[in-house]
Structure 1
Amino acid sequence: MTAVKIVKITGSAEESWQAAAEEAFREASKTIDDISGVEVEDWTADVEDGEISEYRATVEVAFPVHDQQRQ
C-alpha cells in the first residue's frame, strides 16, 4: 500500500482559470517529485472595472510518500 501526501496550492493567471491551475501545478512540480494527481478545489477571481483582472485556482496536489531508510 502506498501512502499519499496532499498539499494545497493556489496559482494565478491573467488569461483563464485553466492557466491558473496549470501555474499551480508548474510551481508545485519545482519542489515536489512524482506528482500523481491534481484536483481543482476552488476557482476565484479578482474583478476591476467590471472585468476579471486575475483568475485563481486552488488545487490539491497528490504525491506518494517515499520510504527513507534511517542510517
Structure 2
Amino acid sequence: MTAVKVIRVMGTSEESWEDAAHEAFREASQTVDDISGVHVEHWTADVEDGEIVQYKATTEIAFPVEH
C-alpha cells in the first residue's frame, strides 16, 4: 500500500484557466517527484475595468510518500 501526500498549489496566467493549471503543475514538478495526479479545486480570476486580467487555478497535487 502506498501513502500519498497532497499539497495545494495556485497557478496564474494572463491567458486562460487551463494555462494557470498547467503553471501550477510546472511549478510543483520543479521540487516534487513522481506527481501522480492533479485536481483543480477552484477556478478564480482578477478583474479590472470589466475584463479578466489574471486567471487563477487552485490545484491539489498528489504524489507518493517515500519511506
Instruction: Please report the TM-score for the alignment, with normalisation by the length of structure 1.
Output: 0.93
Question: In the alignment, what sits opposite 2:18?
Answer: 18
For residue 11 of structure 1, what is the amino acid of its counterpart? G
Secondary structure of the residue that 2:25 maps to in structure 1?
helix
Provide the TM-score with structure 2 as the length reference: 0.99
Could you list the runs of 4 or more consecutive aligned residues of structure 1 that deviate by over 4 angstroms after TM superposition?
A: none
Residues matched between the structures, number:
67
Unaligned runs of 5+ in 2: none
Describe the SS at the equivalent of 1:32. Answer: coil
1:42 is the counterpart of 2:42: yes
Q: Report % sequence identity.
A: 69
Which structure is larger by alpha-carbon Rg, 1 or 2?
1
Q: Secondary structure at the match of 2:66?
A: coil
SS where residue 47 of structure 1 aligns? strand
Q: Which runs of 5+ in 1 are unaligned?
A: none
